[in-house]
A and B are shown apart, each in its own frame.
Chain A
Amino acid sequence: MSAGSTIGVAFLGVGRMGETHLRNLAGLNGVRVVAVADTKPEAAERGKVLAQAEIALTEIDEAITYPGVDAVVIVTPTETHAELIEKAVTAGKAVFSEKPIALDLLETSRIVDLVKAKGAFVQIGFMRRFDPGYVRAKARIAAGELGKLETFRALSRDTYPPSLKFLMGSGGLFLDMAVHDLDLARFLVGEVAEVQAWGSVLIDERFAQANDADTAVTLLRFHNGVLGVAETSRRSNWGYDIRTEVAGAVGKVVIEAPQKTPLLFAKDFSSSYDHFENFPDRFEQAYRLQLESFFRDLQAGRQPSPGPEDALETLRLAIAVTRSWREKRPIQVSEVQG
């Protein structure tokens, strides 16, 4: 897009994640942040400076309809996403929103229907799909290089257990955290037909207080017959541990980034490398690339991906897994209806 047709952006929510997105937006050609909004005035002001925006606002609605705004980037707390997406779409804006749309299926379906009815342009922030490892894996699978797919395997361990306050509003281990691996399962292998999950509290009693699990193993049966497993844990004392493997008849792909710094240190009969600390450093590039993709699609008039329907189907899967854990039985994903 030429300099004459710059896309104006309203940016909503300046937390830690928001600041990352603002820095990435600053490096995108043809994109200009016009307004930054946060209910906390000092956060809005900090965002305005980072983005070199025209105005800082504490009224979020005002930012959506601020003159010159074509697209809205939503990085506010989860419970506000659906309402803000609705407002932005109704005002005729393109929308990028952090995941999830909402934690329940009805509310998410309502937004999917609204987006469809309006023919709106909406992308949801499943950033792992934009990590170069997952992108390349997807391309190899799509080109048939693995042959007929047989198994899927994902392992995710977060570095730091979250606070109790966060846990209470998170939707639980499967909706908040395992959801990333469930989305990758759909992205790389296809739709899931049936799940069975086991969960446990092994790390911290607070998870029991929150009626949640901190450790879980989930079995997946895909429609195409592939079998899968996802391991999930809220703690990792050695760093952010994210591994994914898809195996087929003639080959397999392993997505794993064990080494953060390109440095090997050999000493005392051993060699050591470092690890990524957490999602902001491991997926730094993916956060930038997903926004690039959003604006490139917007400029080209293509529908963005992953859209609200992916958010809905991934949520449906995560709810099925949660239910399987609670009810201690296998669940057909089709049992989960809004």
Chain B
Amino acid sequence: MGFRDQCFMDNNKISVALIGAGRIGQEHARNLASFPDVTVAVVCDPRREAAELARPLARARDVSESAEEVLNRDDIAAVVICTPTDTHADLIGAAAATGKAVFCEKPVALDLDRTQRALRMVAEKGVPFQIGFQRRFDTGYAEAKKRLDAGALGRLDQFRAVGRDPGPPPKEYLANSGGLFVDQAIHDFDLARFLMGEVSEVQAWGAVRFNQDAAEMGDVDTATTLLRFANGALGVVESSRQAVYGYDIVTEIFGEKGKLVVQAEPKTPLRHYHRQGYQMDHYHFFMDRFGPAFRAELNAFFNAVATGTSPSPGVQDAVDSLKVAVAATRSWKENRPVKLTEV
């Protein structure tokens, strides 16, 4: 019996454990409940009240406080991991060891060693694995990728990304985030790889402009990163932990025959005209801007599991996008260009 057949043992549905019932866990719970080929057997969180809150959202049968207990159940074919970052690697390893398909929020881990160790188990067991780079599933980025693959821009010359969060995260979050490049800019690095190709060299500058917490944590709140792609194209990624006007995400690819701009404005289909001009609104943060993308990425994962194809972005993307972020961090700290081969 192949992996695919095992998945469908429970009434022809893929039986899933949702591990982690925080904010993004609840979003995943709602999305999982709306997939007809998926049934959530258990919601797991060490905080029982969080698990109880997500159970009806996921239409789940059981709740559990122990991930270990859940991973040892053989009626579960797949796990969706949205626990705190420092637990991802161990959970991925343990889930893969028991032969379960794994969807995990990014990142696998904050360093390359732990990331590669966890993913070795995934490769060894041959279980389907997908990492939560949700932006790849946004309709704008997906359509841009399709056009680029069809050669719509001809030779690609420049990449430009702006990623600005509405406000800095709490100090406790910063402490375990891995820093701005690994935590935040990584989304744009992943898009750079997704849309343009592999990165060969980076040079990053960082600064503390407004958030003293970042300085105390040895981190920055503002950064600009130059990218050189293996195909010769050049790129720049601008990152900030604060944008007073809302969540500011813009990506531009410039090529021989044209350019593509991925930008979602306004949030509400409403223009308000008044004496000073006219006004539109912005998205607040990733949950509203990328809500449909979170749904689409999970849908793609379960489609891949159901059809026996390999989910994407997978193990290699998780490693390679982290490599760019690690290289950018090193470039900032050592104030010099860093080749990806050094990492």
* Chain A residues within 8 Å of B, Cβ to Cβ: 3, 6, 23-24, 26-27, 29-30, 32, 49-50, 52, 131-133, 136-137, 140, 145, 250-257, 260-268, 274
Query: In the bound complex, do residue A253 and residue B147 qualify as a contact, i.e. CB atoms below 8 Å apart?
Result: no
Closest Cβ neighbor of B258 among chain A residues? A267
B270 interface contact, C-beta 8 A: yes
Q: A132–B288 Cα gap in the complex (Å)?
A: 13
26 examples of A-B residue contacts, CB within 8 angstroms: A3-B52, A3-B55, A23-B34, A27-B33, A29-B56, A29-B57, A52-B39, A52-B59, A132-B267, A133-B270, A136-B270, A137-B270, A145-B272, A251-B273, A254-B273, A255-B269, A257-B269, A261-B143, A262-B263, A262-B265, A263-B140, A264-B261, A264-B263, A265-B258, A265-B259, A266-B259
Query: In the bound complex, do residue B34 and residue A26 qualify as a contact, i.e. CB atoms below 8 Å apart?
Result: yes
What residues on A are CB-neighbors of B152 within 8 Å?
265, 267
What residues on B are CB-neighbors of A132 within 8 Å?
267-270
Q: In the complex, what's the smallest C-beta–C-beta distance from A299 to chain B, in angstroms? A: 13
Top 9 nearest A-B pairs by Cβ distance? A267-B258, A257-B269, A262-B264, A262-B140, A133-B269, A264-B261, A26-B34, A251-B274, A133-B270
Query: In the bound complex, do residue A263 and residue B144 qualify as a contact, i.e. CB atoms below 8 Å apart?
Result: yes
Interface string of B268-289 (1 = CB under 8 A from A): 1111111100000100000000
What residues on A are CB-neighbors of B34 within 8 Å?
23-24, 26-27
B66 interface contact, C-beta 8 A: no
Consensus secondary structure, chain A interface:
mixed
Interface string of B231-259 (1 = CB under 8 A from A): 00000000000000000000000000111
B30 interface contact, C-beta 8 A: yes
Consensus secondary structure, chain B interface:
mixed
What residues on A are CB-neighbors of B272 within 8 Å?
140, 145, 251-254
What residues on B are CB-neighbors of A264 within 8 Å?
260-263
Q: A289–B297 Cα gap in the complex (Å)?
A: 22
Q: A27–B258 Cα gap in the complex (Å)?
A: 40
* Chain B residues within 8 Å of A, Cβ to Cβ: 30-31, 33-34, 36, 39, 52, 55-57, 59, 138-140, 143-144, 147, 152, 257-265, 267-275, 281
Query: In the bound complex, do residue A136 and residue B30 qualify as a contact, i.e. CB atoms below 8 Å apart?
Result: no
Query: In the bound complex, do residue B143 and residue A263 qualify as a contact, i.e. CB atoms below 8 Å apart?
Result: yes
What residues on B are CB-neighbors of A29 within 8 Å?
30, 56-57
Query: In the bound complex, do residue A250 and residue B36 qualify as a contact, i.e. CB atoms below 8 Å apart?
Result: no
What residues on B are CB-neighbors of A32 within 8 Å?
59
Among B31, B55, B271, B275, the residue within 8 A (CB) of A27 is: B31
Q: In the complex, what's the smallest C-beta–C-beta distance from A4 to chain B, in angstroms? A: 10
Q: A293–B263 Cα gap in the complex (Å)?
A: 30
What residues on B are CB-neighbors of A256 within 8 Å?
269, 271
Closest Cβ neighbor of A25 among chain B residues? B34
What residues on B are CB-neighbors of A261 within 8 Å?
139-140, 143
Q: A266–B268 Cα gap in the complex (Å)?
A: 24
What residues on B are CB-neighbors of A250 within 8 Å?
274-275
Known A-B contacts A26-B33, A27-B31, A52-B59; the reply to A254 vs B261 at CB < 8 A is: no
Q: A110–B288 Cα gap in the complex (Å)?
A: 42
Q: 17 more A-B contacts (CB under 8 A) besides A52-B59, A263-B261, A265-B259? A: A27-B31, A29-B30, A52-B33, A52-B36, A132-B267, A132-B268, A137-B270, A140-B272, A254-B270, A254-B271, A257-B269, A262-B138, A262-B262, A263-B139, A264-B260, A267-B257, A274-B143
Residue of A133, A140, A262, A264 with highest tally of chain B CB at under 10 A? A262
What residues on B are CB-neighbors of A254 within 8 Å?
270-273
Closest Cβ neighbor of B270 among chain A residues? A133
Query: In the bound complex, do residue A252 and residue B273 qualify as a contact, i.e. CB atoms below 8 Å apart?
Result: yes
What residues on B are CB-neighbors of A262 within 8 Å?
138-140, 262-265
Q: A154–B39 Cα gap in the complex (Å)?
A: 44
Closest Cβ neighbor of B39 among chain A residues? A52
Q: In the complex, what's the smallest C-beta–C-beta distance from A136 to chain B, in angstroms? A: 5
Q: In the complex, what's the smallest C-beta–C-beta distance from A19 to chain B, in angstroms? A: 10
What residues on B are CB-neighbors of A30 within 8 Å?
56
Q: A131–B269 Cα gap in the complex (Å)?
A: 9
Q: A251–B269 Cα gap in the complex (Å)?
A: 17
